[in-house]
Chain A
Amino acid sequence: EIVMTQSPATLSVSPGERATLSCRASQSVSSNLAWYQQKPGQAPRLLIYGASTRATGFPARFSGRGSGTEFTLTISSLQSEDFAVYYCLQYNTWPFTFGGGTKVEIK
């Protein structure tokens, strides 16, 4: 099973600042990496797939990059609606596995 490790567990950021979230895979997942945003009491929502393709409905301030074992999600200028938990998912190899999540909170 591929282990996905996200860091940091919690990221405290002021509105308008840049946030960089990391996701590392225990072995290569190529570009088969997705990011999800989850707000309290809601289901997760697809944010990024294919490591860098933004899903419908998310603005350009969200960007994903990486391949192989190292991936990052960057939010260029945090808005109030971006404070949430973010999960990465590898779908390269069954069983598909999620990282433990990064909570982005208001500083």
Chain B
Amino acid sequence: EVQLVESGGVVVQPGGSLRLSCAPSGFTFDDYTMHWVRQAPGKGLEWVSLISWDGSSPYYADSVKGRFTISRDKSKNSLYLQMNSLRTEDTAFYYCAKGGSTDPYYFDFWGQGTLVTVSS
């Protein structure tokens, strides 16, 4: 059974930094593109970032480019999102999602999300 467990969400002040983690299980992590998707409370979904299976090709939404960094650690079987220069508009549930089996750019499994609140 595929599982994705996010952690690291807390309350942080504007301008602060935070690192989210995602622990995958139930599939071969090294074989799949991984994504972060966010959802502000009561709002819609926004794709944030992706990283290819080998970590060579990270992509970002314009709204986070230059502030967020996605990475993966094969030895720790983990996905990360380093978030710097946080803004109030970054407040959201952050979901880790697995790239699809037939195409890496849709998301076939999602974690339950971790809440990041940016507030003074």
Contacts and interface: CB of A to CB of B under 8 A. Distances in A.
B105 A98 contact: no
Interface string A84-96: 0001010100111
Nearest to B61: A95
Interface residues of B, number: 20
Contact of A96 (B47, B102, B108, B111): B47
Contact of A45 (B44, B103, B110): B110
Interface string A1-21: 100000000000000000000
B55 to A, nearest CB: 17
Nearest to B48: A95
Given A43-B110, A87-B44, A95 B105 contact: no
Interface string B78-120: 0000000000000000010000101101111111110000000
A97 interface: yes
A91 B45 contact: no
24 contacts: A1-B62, A32-B103, A34-B106, A36-B45, A43-B95, A43-B111, A43-B112, A43-B113, A44-B107, A46-B106, A46-B107, A46-B109, A49-B100, A49-B102, A49-B103, A49-B106, A50-B102, A55-B108, A87-B44, A89-B45, A91-B103, A94-B59, A96-B105, A98-B47
Interface of B: 44-47, 59, 61-62, 95, 100, 102-103, 105-113
